[in-house]
Amino acid sequence: MTQRVTIERIGAKGDGVAETGAGPLFIPRGIPGDVFRIDHNASTDEMLQLETPSPYRVKALCSVFGQCGGCAIQEADQKTYAQWKTGLVTAALAPLGLSDHVGDFIDAHGAGRRRVTFHARRRDGDIVIGFMRAKSHDVIDLHSCPLLVPQLQDSALRLKPLARLLLKSDKPIDIAVTATANGLDVDLRGHGPASPDLRMKLTREAELLDLARLSLHGDIIVERRAPQIAIGKASAILPPGCFLQATETGEGALQRAVLSHLKDARKVADLFAGIGTFALRLAEHASVHAVENEPASINALARATRDVSGLKPVTVETRDLFRRPLVPLELNAFDHVVIDPPRAGAEAQMRMLASSRVSRVISVSCHLGSFVRDAALLLAGGYQLGKVTVIDQFRHSTHCELVGIFERETERAKPKRRLLG
């Protein structure tokens, strides 16, 4: 039996969706307007054929797209792609009745991703380094990835000598690489402690590769140059394995979106502050109290504020906001709170914010589900949601970065004077 279907939309995971009498049919790599012929009597490999390509279809930029599990979609034109990503946010906010609160879509890929984690495995007596194959634990041996910044393009191939030193058995390792102003910062994971002899070999290899720093599970093997990035007027030295926004352009877009929501700011709390992605920019306009659980990150933030002119006072606190969130009495000292939690969100802290008198909460999120859950808590506490900015720094994936402004109703009635950075 032969069946023809037309792709009507792109699903949440990037597959094309055709509506049939039996319900929705999900077709990998389908683009709205594609017509597929399905031969139900053919083999699995020959069952599905693209008969009429969509006018919105473009050529994939990567030769292993469809095999590599890193990208969900590459063959839709920019307008179709942006509509799909924005639609993911619209659909997520719909249960709260807030689907019309989705604002700008910002392409924040820039020069590419500046951090990446490769998987390294021993296979058939050789070393393979790359990304996982789609729906598999098999590793695709990569020579380059077009989504990475130029400094990282050939890094999987270049770093094979490091993997050879560690992969003496079938135990896998991961290689986290960050492109910094002073060179590549590499953290090897999955091996365990290194013997003195192995440390010497790794040090020699780091010198041959001209790495800025080489670490093993955060334990620094050698630091030849301090890995740094600029954040506004300051420069931060990255702790090994610390969190960093995926693209430099994305970081800038997130900072501008957050700063655009400041209004007569005097005291701001930056929760889950990391190395100061927002705190160091916020301090150009207001005094900031930065809270972070990781001591290395908060210490890096504190160091970054030293000897920098033009910043207002920045205080820091090491604190686990999941187990010990700031309570309303503490929060009420601030007129703005910026919160950028991990993917799991910040349920405990959001409950405290919902009970506080903070005028504005600027919520930054990398996960739609936790953003919606946390938003519901703030709405139940009397906050109103303004526009949500969609920032796309994970191009070709299903991931979105969001920035939403929550205000008390009395604050929304006041005329706004924003600080733009």
Tokens 């009745």 label which residue? 97
Contacts of 190 (CB under 8 A, 6+ apart): 171, 172, 173, 174
Strands 267-271 and 336-339: parallel
Instruction: For 284-339, give the secondary structure using H, E and C.
Output: CCCEEEEEECCHHHHHHHHHHCCCCCCCCCEEEEECCCCCCCCCHHHHCCCCEEEE
What gap in Å lies between CA 256 and CA 236, rounded to an integer?
19
- Is residue 124 classed exposed, middle or buried when 0-12, 13-18 and 19+ CB atoms within 10 A define those classes? exposed
Catalytic residues: 366
CA 96, distance to chain mean position in Å, is: 24
What gap in Å lies between CA 247 and CA 241, rounded to an integer?
16
- Contact between 180 and 244 (Cβ < 8 Å): no
- Contact between 76 and 355 (Cβ < 8 Å): no
Please enumerate, as own/partner, the contacts of 200-207 that have beta carbons within 8 Å and a separation of 24 or more: 201/165, 202/162, 202/165, 205/161, 205/162, 205/165, 206/162
- Is residue 353 classed exposed, middle or buried when 0-12, 13-18 and 19+ CB atoms within 10 A define those classes? buried
Instruction: For 346-415, give the secondary structure using H, E and C.
Output: CHHHHHHHHCCCCCEEEEEECCHHHHHHHHHHHHHCCEEEEEEEEEECCCCCCCCEEEEEEEEHHHHCCC
Strands 228-231 and 48-52: unpaired
* Tokens encoding 75: 């063959």
Question: What are the angstrom distances between the C-alpha of 302 and each of 273, 297, 311, 317, 404?
Answer: 11, 9, 12, 10, 27
CA 340, distance to chain mean position in Å, is: 11
